[in-house]
């Protein structure tokens, strides 16, 4: 195999010819579980109206009677923010309207640090508990890269939708701030993520989801708090190497790199993260394309 100076990610992916898809798709569930502060099994026993900006959705603070805690500190009850009504006249215009909840809704709840439900996987069926536990265990024992200027990286091959057999084989890519201060990480839309793919013949290909040229002096950033994890996907949901590479088997490395020091976050000038960090080797048994 051709030698490389970049840390290799020993992930074997078989990319097959797939039909085109369009429209918004959720991040794979592992990413939602990773970003959730609490994951519990329980039932809504009370709803308290909550004022919130916007007039198309009615919100409430839900009280969940917790039977089991899968992530986070165990508690008997959990409070989170849920939608109780969506204006039908505007629901059709929303790319992804929030799910409406009622007293008695029961299952696995994914609650974000701000108290909101995870948008796509906020409530799962209780029968999915074994796979949720498996994904949480994988996340807990994952292998991160060595830090580079305060960020470390991780990637995983998976399926776009764990509930569908033969779903799109994709990759998720995350970075974490391991410092004690805010790090301004370039957004994936700034053309800072690339894939190094080595096929079975040892031929290397370097591809990006977006080859559009960027302003050489400024990079738009995300603000990562200490220990915070963010996923860097050009199209927000996942990386789809099958759109970028010919069908075949690949040894894949996902890399974040940036040389632009001038950053912008919420209209403010900031010092952007610079450097290069590559996701390390990942366990290969979760090969969505060959299941």
Structural domain including 55 reads: 37-117
Q: Which residues contact 125 (CB under 8 A, 6 or more apart)?
A: 107, 108
Residues 167, 90, single domain; the answer is no
Residues 284, 162, single domain; the answer is yes
pLDDT digits (tens, 9 = 90+) for 209-227: 776 656 678 899 999 999 9
Q: Is residue 2 part of a domain?
A: no
Q: What is the dihedral of CA 136, 137, 139, 141, to 10 degrees?
A: 160
pLDDT of 232 reads 93
Among candidate residues 23, 236, 26, the one with its CA nearest the CA of residue 119: 26
User: How many CB atoms within 10 Å of residue 17?
Assistant: 7
Q: Is residue 196 part of a domain?
A: yes
The distance in angstroms from the start CA to the end CA of the chain is 26
CA distances from 49 to 38, 65, 76, 80, 82 (A): 22, 18, 21, 12, 10
Confidence of residue 151 (pLDDT cuts 50, 70, 90): very high
Residues 280, 203, single domain; the answer is yes
Structure tokens at 106: 């029961």
Q: Is residue 1 part of a domain?
A: no
What pTM does this model have? 0.84
Structure tokens at 121: 């996987």
Which parts of the chain fold into alpha helices (H)?
29-35, 88-91, 129-140
Residues 164, 286, single domain; the answer is yes
pLDDT digits (tens, 9 = 90+) for 12-54: 444 443 333 334 567 899 999 999 999 999 999 999 999 887 7
Beta strand segments in the chain, E: 12-15, 38-50, 57-71, 77-86, 106-111, 123-124, 151-159, 169-177, 183-186, 193-199, 204-208, 219-224, 229-231, 248-258, 262-265, 268-271, 275-278
Is the Cα dihedral 122, 34, 209, 169 positive or negative?
negative
Residues 51, 151, single domain; the answer is no
């Amino acid at each position: 195999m051709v030698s490389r100076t970049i840390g290799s990610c020993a992930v074997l992916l078989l990319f097959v010819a797939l039909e085109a898809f369009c429209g918004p798709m959720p991040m794979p569930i592992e990413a939602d579980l990773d970003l959730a502060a609490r994951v519990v099994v329980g039932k809504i026993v009370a709803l308290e109206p909550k004022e919130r900006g916007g007039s198309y959705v009615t919100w409430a603070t839900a009280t969940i009677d917790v039977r089991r805690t899968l992530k986070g500190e165990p508690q008997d009850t959990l409070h989170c923010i849920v939608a109780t009504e969506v204006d039908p006249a505007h629901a059709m215009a929303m790319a992804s309207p929030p799910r409406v909840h009622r007293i008695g809704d029961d299952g696995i709840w994914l609650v974000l640090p701000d108290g909101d439900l995870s948008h796509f996987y906020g409530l799962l069926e209780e029968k999915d508990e074994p796979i949720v536990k498996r994904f949480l265990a994988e996340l807990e024992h994952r292998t991160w890269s060595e830090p580079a200027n305060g960020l470390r990286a991780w990637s995983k091959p998976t399926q776009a939708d764990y509930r569908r057999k033969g779903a799109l084989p994709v990759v998720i890519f995350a970075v974490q701030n391991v410092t004690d201060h805010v790090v301004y990480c370039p957004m994936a839309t700034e053309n800072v993520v690339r894939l190094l793919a080595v096929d079975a013949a040892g031929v290397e290909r370097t591809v990006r989801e977006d080859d559009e040229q960027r302003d050489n002096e400024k990079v738009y950033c995300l603000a990562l708090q200490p220990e915070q994890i963010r996923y860097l996907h050009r199209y927000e949901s996942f990386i789809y190497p099958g759109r970028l590479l010919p069908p075949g088997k690949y040894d894949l490395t996902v890399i974040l790199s940036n040389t632009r020091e001038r950053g912008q976050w919420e209209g403010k000038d900031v010092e952007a993260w610079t450097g290069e960090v590559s996701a390390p080797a990942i366990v290969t048994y979760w090969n969505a394309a060959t299941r």
